[in-house]
Amino acid sequence: TVHTSLDVVDEKVSAMGKALVDQRELYLGLLYPTEDYKVYGYVTNSKVKFVMVVDSSNTALRDNEIRSMFRKLHNSYTDVMCNPFYNPGDRIHSRAFDNMVTSMMVQVC
Amino acid sequence: MEPPEEPLRPVIYTMENKPIVTCAGDQNLFASVYPTLSQQLPREPMEWRRSYGRAPKMIHLESNFVQFKEELLPKEGNKALLTFPFLHIYWTECCDTEVYKATLKDDITKWQNVLKAHSSVDWLIVVVESDAKKKNKTNILPRTSIVDKIRNDFCNKQSDRCVVLCDPLKDSSRTQESWNAFLTKLRTLLLMSFTKNLGKFEDDMRTLREKRTEPGWSFCEYFMVQEELAFVFEMLQQFEDALVQYDELDALFSQYVVNFGAGDGANWLTFFCQSVKSWNGLILRKPIDMEKRELIQSQEATLLDLRSYLFSRQCTLLIFLQRPWEVSQRALELLHNCVQELKLLEVSVPPGALDCWVFLSCLEVLQRIEGCCDRAQIDSNISHTVGLWSYATEKLKSLGYLCGLVSENGPNSEDLNRTVDLLAGLGAERPETAKTAQSPYKKLKEALSSVEAFEKHYLDLSHATIEMYTSIGRIRSAKLVGKDLAEFYMRKKSPQKAEVYLQNALKNYVAEGWALPITHTRKQLAECQKHLGQIENYLQTSSLLASDTHLTEDERKHFCQEILNFANEQKESPGLKVVLSMHSFAQLKHLHFDPSNALVHVGGTLSIEITLLSQMPISVQVEQIAVSVHFSIEKNSYRKTAEWLTKHKTSNGIISFPNENSSVPFSRSSSPALELYEMYERSPSDNSLNTTGIICKNVHMLLRRQESSSSLEIPSGVTLEDGAHILKCSNVTLDPGVNKIIFRTQAKEPGTYTLRQMCTSVGQVQFVLPHIYPIVQYDVYSQDPQLKVEPLTDSLLAGIPQKVKFTVTTGYYTIKNGDSLQLSNADAMLILFHAENRAIIYSNTREKSSEASLMIQSSEKVTSVSLPMAPAYHMIEFELEVLSLPSTPTSGESDKLVNKEPQRKNKEKQKAGNCMVTLDQKVSIDCPWSIYSTIIALTFNIPFKATHSLLSAGKRKYIQVCVQNLSELGFQLSDSNLIDTGNSPDLQLVPLNTKCQKGNKARQEDPRELVGDAEPKNSIYIQHIYSKQSVFFVWELLWTKELPPSLHCHFSLDFYPASEDRSISLKPYSYEFQVENFFTLYNVKAEIFPPLGTEYCKTGSLCSLEVSITRLSDLLEVDKDEALTESDEYCTTKLMYEVVDNSSNWAVCGKSSGVISMPVTARATHKVHMEVMPLFAGYLPFPDVRLFKYLPHHSAHSTQLDADSWIENDNLSVDKNMDDQTDNSSQKSKSSSHSAASVEHKGLPMPRLQPFPSGQVFNSSTGMQILVIPSKDDHILEVSVT
């Protein structure tokens, strides 16, 4: 599901690239609704993609909340990238990042 | 015009709905005007200003004109908007006041009252005037009066409620004008009415909505009300607004459902929770689905009904708005939403019912869209519809599984029952679609009817979906559908079709590194391949799965066991070998060489320890692990010796292989690292920095499209290399995790061995690592035996025993018992040996292996050193003492050579420091491994340097020898001896050193001289001479008869190293030299007398200097030269004297030099007087008086050789004569330095000066001083402190 959603991400990103070069909006919105899940997408300026899969029955999450979650995730990711000992492309082993993600999950569920 | 008897059923909701306008008054008149009116009214748009800040809109108004009836007016509380008359018009043609008063006024009043009773304020009175009628009554009241009257009577404040229409049926400008005015008025009033009434309606609706929390509130009722509004908007062609109404309803309902889910249920909602009994999909072909509407109205609708109806309305409006793509999008949302809502509301739905509903709905939506768009439009908007396609596919699939249509055996009875139930729920087909062959209803029914039909439909749908996804570039989604299809094929037992889809999907996942999908797809693929009987592929996939950490332990074990089973099965029937990639089986982690420099000599053993990380979940018994090795002989001629290789391979012998991320085995870690370089671009003109940047040099590598990683997945590239060189290791058990395997090999041929492949055999299965990277090599070398001789110290000293280290590198040669080194002795070098000479044998790695004693036998010519036994590639080290004899007094042969040689060398090397004289000794050594003998040159340094000088005291002569120690060692000196080699009996050399050591001390004092402890000791005087020191020895020369013109002397000196005792007798150091012209001819004596009458000399006053030159001998051989003039046995010679004061103590007044003629007889004296003036006070040394031979310029035979040696008036070389110019040879060597200066004089016939050899002139006043007192009037006392 995450995988196929990348299709839509690509589509949206390329559409965005055509439309505006300096697109400030990184949040791609709902990518891909399915019967069971909603898939939200977010792409950074350097084309790092974040994908969030939410249970469809979870109606508490609105667009704005998802957006802020993505923003938080992005910030945390940036912190990880700023770590000089991190080798881009490696698996992320950052406790701070993990904690942040976990806390986000806990908050939602 | 509508017929007046139009049935007033309020439920005709067609698109022909128009706002209702009633007409009262003169119906005939209206009938005549109506065609024009209905035609003209919608012609011009009107701006509609709306309440609540909604944007104004331009509206084309149309109206439905009906005859006024009282029933038409809405009752109190009736909310029906569609049937609401928005405007009431009263038509009259009356122009007669009488008539007006009689009937019209009453009529209008009545009409007005009815309106008032229904609180309707939207009315209009139209007065139609025609010229025809006017003509008849020209004399009566002006036409305006009727209008005015009406205005007065009815429109008390709203004068605009009365309009005049002039000659409506004529075609004149006036008519046109009045029509326009009327229409504008009409439109304005209609809009006003709309605004007012709709506003009121909306207010009512809102009030109703606010009551929704009250218990009795019903959504259906409210729905109907708001829909009414939507209808009106639709009627006014305001689809946007109509859609908004439906969207609001939609949102309200959704919110209720959500709230219900949160536990906040409304009563009315429970009604929607009834179980679903009908699932006949959406119906979008009719603008309004009256059936469902009625259900809602009667509050009998189910959730699906409500949703269906709502969506059908939205769909209709969206299509009106030309937004079909939004329909598809909303449809997908709706379908998902409905499924969720049913779940949330816990509505009981028979299994499959929803799938049916969704499937039907999807197809319905798609067909509806197709119905209103052309092909090209659809094709360009696939991205909007493809979701529906894939959803439909998915649903059909699940229906198929549910109804047993996918299984191989076809549906069983239970499945059939279920199918029947589902079909029943569909109900009968709608009449609208009954005629269409491809209706969703028919499709579903057909698909569910039989296995074959299902397959056909499913495949159609799937392929269509995949095609669409592919065409819009959603490859990944296409792959997912493909995977479903593969699953379907697997169920249908046709794995060959499934494989393609699985492989494609897997390729895609692998390329992008999605671990979990990879695992899942591989699992499917493994099953598929198993069915297909593709053993190799299956085993490869199994091995990949067995190493996959995303699988459970059990699954991994299962796949591992599969491989092992196969391997064991095939054991009986050899021939079939399955070659698999080792990648998944195990990873090569480290490789460790022993010896660690990966270098062995021929015949040596090399062990390689390989660390393998087994990725199998269980231990695997491996029959053999083999590493094939590629052998290459070194191409370059450079021989790799052990030393060279040791130097260059400094690694610790451990080679680590790049660690692949085991969890994502094919992630991009394999891609090369970025190679970044800084880039500066400077402007060519002023070299200022234009741009800087970073360049990635391997862009082509990084940006290369990631092709399918076929090499990893398909083991076709894995081939076994048959190399002659294979390292093997048998029967190894590989446990999960880290294993260490040790290979041992015996090196055979010299060269470089490169590890190429690694192959692990389990039964008939071989896991092959096709390339070992980074490149691992080991070298085998072969080395010739070598002998190296080197001194232990920096330099060898001649004359004393010195240690020399012999190093024998055996190489391939094994030293047998009896092998020996034959050293042919050099003449001047002795090899000393002791009883216990020990040799140490080292192994190749410089470890001490053993020690053995050394047998040395020496014959006259040959010294034989028998070597201890040593294996090949070892080193033997031992030390020997050698003694080189210092400068050998072989014969009387040219002592000059001996002397000259070192002197020249000294000269050459003087600049580089005080270097020692060297002697080269050559030794030739015969080695047992070679027929040729090795010649080794050893260089010895002579530790001493000796110089001599002649000293005179009047006629007495002394010889001084200075011995300088140049080495770093201290020595003990003894037995100094000087003999005359000429052995003339009348000559005697009396050493002053031994006898009158103390008395001579004054003589020996010299700034550089250090006299050691010269204490007598058993009549041997031992002197210590330390490094870089000198010792002087003095002898007095006594003679009885006439002296020979030259004297050959030989000096010898015993010496020992100070640190050692004198156990060995060493050859003494010897030095030969020649002294010439040592007999004193002249005595020069200078005397200074103070001026007459004074006691002392005073500064500034002239004193007289008297130089007396006295001839001490008669004519001698040495006098025979050009200066001698002979006349009648009376010989004179010409001498030149010169008084020089170098320290400028004296001022010589008058002539300081002169030529005198000296008779050559003994005691001939010549006195010269001159005036000198002391410049300083104190004890002043006498000025120097020099004496030269004065040679008149002569004929040609005084050639250039002589010309070189004559000395000008300067004192440069004359000074030095005192020290070392004792013999001619040194003079000659010195003279070269003057040649440049004398070039100019060469051509001129000038008299020449020749200095005397130092022994011939004795200056008896040397070193004398005279006291000079300061002059009285000299108050300045200069004190110089030195």
Q: What ipTM does this complex have?
A: 0.80
CB contact under 8 A, B474 and A8: yes
Confidence band of B814 (pLDDT split at 50, 70, 90): confident
Q: Name B501's Cβ contacts closer than 8 Å, sequence gap at least 6.
A: B479, B482, B483, B485, B486, B489
Question: Best interface-test mutation with B: which of A1, A2, A5, A7 has the largest number of B CBs within 10 A?
Answer: A7
In this predicted structure, which of B191-205, B684-698, B945-959 has the lowest mean pLDDT? B684-698
DSSP code for A4: H
User: What are the φ/ψ torsions at residue B922 (nearest 5 degrees)?
Assistant: -110, 135
Which residues on B lie below 8 Å from A57 (Cβ)?
261, 340, 343-344
Nearest CA in chain B to A5: B477
Confidence band of B600 (pLDDT split at 50, 70, 90): confident
Name residue, tokens 């020290």. Answer: B1219
**Does residue B396 register a pLDDT over 60?**
yes
Nearest CA in chain B to A91: B661
From the number of C-beta atoms within 10 Å of its C-beta (0-12, 13-18, 19+), residue B503 rates as: buried
Nearest CA in chain A to B477: A4
What pLDDT is attached to residue B100? 67
Among B339, B469, B517, the residue with its CB nearest the CB of A3 is B517
What pLDDT is attached to residue B1267? 81
Beta bridge partners of B592: B609, B654
Express each pLDDT in B1152-1182 by its tens digit.
Answer: 777 877 777 777 788 888 888 887 777 888 8
What pLDDT is attached to residue B933? 77
Among B333, B344, B474, the residue with its CB nearest the CB of A7 is B474
Say how many C-beta atoms besides its own lie within 10 A of residue B913's C-beta.
8
In this predicted structure, which of B366-375, B617-626, B633-642, B1124-1133 has the lowest mean pLDDT? B633-642
- Give the span between the Cα atoms of B170 and B163, in whole angstroms: 18
- Name the percent of chain B lying above pLDDT 90: 0
**Domain limits, chain A:** 1-107
**Does residue B270 register a pLDDT over 80?**
no
Among B477, B661, B669, the residue with its CB nearest the CB of A7 is B477
Which residues on A lie below 8 Å from B258 (Cβ)?
59
Express each pLDDT in B858-888 by its tens digit.
Answer: 776 777 777 777 777 777 888 777 777 655 4
Express each pLDDT in B167-187 by its tens digit.
Answer: 666 666 767 777 777 777 777
Nearest to B163 by CA among B6, B25, B364, B354: B25
Residue scoring higher pLDDT (B482 or B1117): B482
Nearest CA in chain B to A59: B258
3-state helix, strand, coil in chain A (%, to 5): 50, 20, 35
Nearest to B406 by CA among B355, B448, B442, B446: B448
DSSP string, B182-205: HHHHHHHHHHHHHHHHHHHHHHHH
What pLDDT is attached to residue B638? 44
- Mean pLDDT value of segment B674-683: 68
In this predicted structure, which of A43-52, A64-73, B46-55, B357-366 has the lowest mean pLDDT? B46-55
What is the Cα B350 distance to its own chain's centre? 63
Q: Name B599's Cβ contacts closer than 8 Å, sequence gap at least 6.
A: B642, B645, B646, B649, B778, B779, B780, B781
Confidence band of B1115 (pLDDT split at 50, 70, 90): low
Is B741:B610 a contact under the CB 8 Å cutoff?
yes
Nearest to B1255 by CA among B1082, B1003, B1113, B1131: B1082
- Give the span between the Cα atoms of B555 and B553, in whole angstroms: 6
How far is A34 from chain B, CA to nearest CA, in Å? 7
Confidence band of B835 (pLDDT split at 50, 70, 90): low
Q: Name B569's Cβ contacts closer than 8 Å, sequence gap at least 6.
A: B763
CB contact under 8 A, A34 and B336: yes
Q: Name B84's Cβ contacts closer than 8 Å, sequence gap at least 6.
A: B20, B74, B197
Which residues on B lie below 8 Å from A6 (Cβ)?
476
Confidence band of B580 (pLDDT split at 50, 70, 90): confident
The amino acid present at B648, given as its one-letter code, is: H
**Does residue B10 register a pLDDT over 50?**
no
Say how many C-beta atoms besides its own lie within 10 A of residue B997's C-beta.
15
Is B6 strand, coil or helix? coil
What pLDDT is attached to residue B1239? 39
Residue scoring higher pLDDT (B264 or B650): B264
- Mean pLDDT value of segment B1092-1100: 76
The bridge status of strand B123-129 relative to strand B85-92 is: parallel
Say how many C-beta atoms besides its own lie within 10 A of residue B159's C-beta.
11
What pLDDT is attached to residue B429? 66
Express each pLDDT in B947-973 by its tens digit.
Answer: 887 777 777 778 888 888 877 777 777
Express each pLDDT in B977-1036 by its tens digit.
Answer: 777 776 666 777 777 765 434 333 333 333 333 333 333 333 456 777 777 788 888 888
- Mean pLDDT value of segment B213-242: 74
**Does residue B15 register a pLDDT over 50?**
no
Express each pLDDT in B434-492 by its tens digit.
Answer: 666 677 777 777 777 778 888 888 888 888 888 888 887 777 777 778 888 888 888 88
**Does residue B75 register a pLDDT over 70?**
no
The radius of gyration of chain A from alpha carbons, rounded to an integer in Å, stands at: 14
What pLDDT is attached to residue B1207? 40
From the number of C-beta atoms within 10 Å of its C-beta (0-12, 13-18, 19+), residue B629 rates as: buried
Which residues on B lie below 8 Å from A62 (Cβ)?
none
Residue scoring higher pLDDT (B751 or B1208): B751
Structural element, H or E, at residue B531 = helix B515-532
CATH of domain A1-107: 3.30.450.70
Is B313:B345 a contact under the CB 8 Å cutoff?
no
Among B333, B472, B517, the residue with its CB nearest the CB of A33 is B333
Question: Best interface-test mutation with A: which of B345, B384, B477, B661 has the largest number of A CBs within 10 A?
Answer: B477
- Give the span between the Cα atoms of B955 and B1239, in whole angstroms: 38
Is B166 strand, coil or helix? strand
Express each pLDDT in B881-930 by its tens digit.
Answer: 777 765 543 333 333 333 333 443 333 333 334 456 777 777 788 877 77
CB contact under 8 A, A3 and B476: yes
Cα dist from A92 to A86, B199, B341, whole Å:
8, 60, 38
What pLDDT is attached to residue B1243? 46
What pLDDT is attached to residue B1217? 39
From the number of C-beta atoms within 10 Å of its C-beta (0-12, 13-18, 19+), residue B455 rates as: middle
Cα dist from B402 to A65, B364, B1100, whole Å:
38, 22, 144
Which stretches does DSSP call E strand in B420-550?
none
**Does residue A11 register a pLDDT over 50?**
yes
Beta bridge partners of B678: B694
Nearest to B1252 by CA among B1194, B1200, B1187, B1192: B1187
Residue scoring higher pLDDT (B912 or B302): B302
CB contact under 8 A, B332 and A33: yes
User: What are the φ/ψ torsions at residue B916 (nearest 5 degrees)?
Assistant: -95, 155
From the number of C-beta atoms within 10 Å of its C-beta (0-12, 13-18, 19+), residue B1143 rates as: exposed
Beta bridge partners of B477: none
Which residues on B lie below 8 Å from A8 (Cβ)?
474
Which residues on A lie below 8 Å from B472 (Cβ)?
11
**Does residue A86 register a pLDDT over 70?**
yes
CA angle, corner B703, sides to B700 and B709, nearest 5?
A: 105
Which residues on A lie below 8 Å from B340 (Cβ)?
35, 56-57
End-to-end CA separation in angstroms for chain B = 149
Which residues on A lie below 8 Å from B668 (Cβ)?
89
**Does residue B575 register a pLDDT over 70?**
no
By residue count, chain A amounts to: 109
**Does residue B658 register a pLDDT over 60?**
yes
What pLDDT is attached to residue B1169? 82
- Give the span between the Cα atoms of B748 and B611, in whole angstroms: 25
What pLDDT is attached to residue B154? 65
The answer, yes or no, to whether the previous bond of B774 is cis (omega within 30 of 0) is yes
In this predicted structure, which of B67-71, B463-467, B1184-1188 has the lowest mean pLDDT? B67-71
Express each pLDDT in A12-70 by its tens digit.
Answer: 665 555 444 455 567 777 776 677 777 787 877 777 778 777 777 766 677 788 888 88
- Name the percent of chain B lying above pLDDT 70: 64
For the sheet with B944-953, list strands across it: B944-953, B956-965, B1030-1039, B987-991
What pLDDT is attached to residue B1196? 41
How far is B343 from chain A, CA to nearest CA, in Å? 9
The amino acid present at B156, given as its one-letter code, is: N
**Does residue B534 register a pLDDT over 60?**
yes
The answer, yes or no, to whether the previous bond of B1174 is cis (omega within 30 of 0) is no
Nearest to B179 by CA among B295, B40, B369: B40
Which residues on B lie below 8 Å from A88 (Cβ)?
none
What is the Cα B21 distance to its own chain's centre? 84
Confidence band of B83 (pLDDT split at 50, 70, 90): low
In this predicted structure, which of A76-80, B219-223, B278-282, B1266-1270 has the lowest mean pLDDT? B278-282
Helices (H), B236-276: 239-261, 267-272
- Mean pLDDT value of segment B90-111: 71
